[in-house]
Amino acid sequence: MNTRLAIVTGAGGAVGGSYLKHFLKAENTKCVALSRSNLEATEVIQFKVDLLDENKTREAIEQLDLSGISDLILVHGVGKFKYEDLESLPHLNQDPHKIDNEVFLSNYHTFVNVVNPLVEKLTKEHQGGQKITLALCGFGSISDKYKIPFWRSYTYAKDTLRQYIKDLAKSEEWKGLIRGRFINVSTTDTGNENKLRPNVTVEEKQYWLKPEKIVAQSMPVIESLQPLWQEIDVYEILPGFNPEEYYNDYQTIKQKWERQMGLVNA
């Protein structure tokens, strides 16, 4: 019987936890959780690790038992976000190529630190005659395509991650065994988002995306073996919302975010 192995990073968070719940209910699926905190779920193979630690992450991946595994899925929802007010960050304002290193490391290197040893491990399995397919799933913001200046470090990190996954998925070396998926989401109702924006109104929050919806809409795409690369948007429809107008109106974005973050009076 073919068995699937699902690896979920940031499994202690809202998005990662929702994917973990999904995989735990799925048939013929083993679950691995990579998290900085301990999880209550006992039926999950857990590794308590900081993904910024390349060596510790490699040690965790190398312990995985891939015997009998036919398909491996990595869902990686880890990554810090920062609102960058260019007026208060002159070093960013003066150099358009300058980015926040913490944001980049947490969004890009945490993924690479997992995938590099994972790909090496699969290479050995393939050389031994066991062909395992691999789905790499990253996450970004629907706003990334608009290059919002107030979170340009985040967008840069996500664009770099997109290209990394796409290159792996389309590489001649893997001949279709790796598929890349990128899920772009609107504002999602997570603990971190609520801490970042404590002054959001009840009306605004009703259009925040629930993690369960992300899972429901993305899983058919993640599970499908074709195409090798696919990017989808998941969002809540806000009546009358025009993304082209809103995302190009930087002043309106700045005013809304600063109000929601409590930096200015409502």
Residue 252 lies in a domain: no
Residue 7 lies in a domain: yes
The alpha carbon dihedral of 170, 171, 174, 178 has a sign of negative
| String of DSSP letters for 21-84 | HHHHHSTTEEEEEEESS--S-TTSEEEE--TT-HHHHHHHHHT---TTEEEEEEEE--------
Residue 103 lies in a domain: yes
Residue 254's H or E segment, with its range, is helix 250-261
pLDDT of amino acid 173:
87
Bridge-based pairing of strands 29-35 and 69-76 is unpaired
pLDDT of amino acid 98:
84
The 3-state DSSP class for residue 229 equals: strand
Residue in 12, 213, 22, 7 with CA at minimum distance from that of residue 118: 7
Residue 249 lies in a domain: no
Contact 34, 9 (CB under 8 A): yes
Q: How many domains does the chain have?
A: 1
pLDDT in tens, the chain (266 residues): 679 999 999 999 999 999 999 999 999 999 999 998 887 767 899 999 999 999 999 999 999 999 999 999 999 999 999 999 866 555 545 555 789 999 999 999 999 999 999 999 999 998 888 899 999 999 999 999 999 999 999 999 999 999 999 999 999 888 889 999 999 999 999 999 999 999 999 999 999 999 999 999 999 999 999 999 999 999 998 889 899 999 999 999 999 999 999 988 65
pLDDT of amino acid 181:
98
Residue in 68, 26, 10 with CA at minimum distance from that of residue 220: 26
Residue 211 lies in a domain: yes
CATH of the domain at 155: 3.40.50.720
The model's pTM: 0.93
Could you count the other beta carbons within 10 Å of the beta carbon of residue 105? 17
Residue 152 lies in a domain: yes
pLDDT of amino acid 95:
59
Range of the domain at 186: 3-194+207-239
Residue 262 lies in a domain: no
Residue 151 lies in a domain: yes
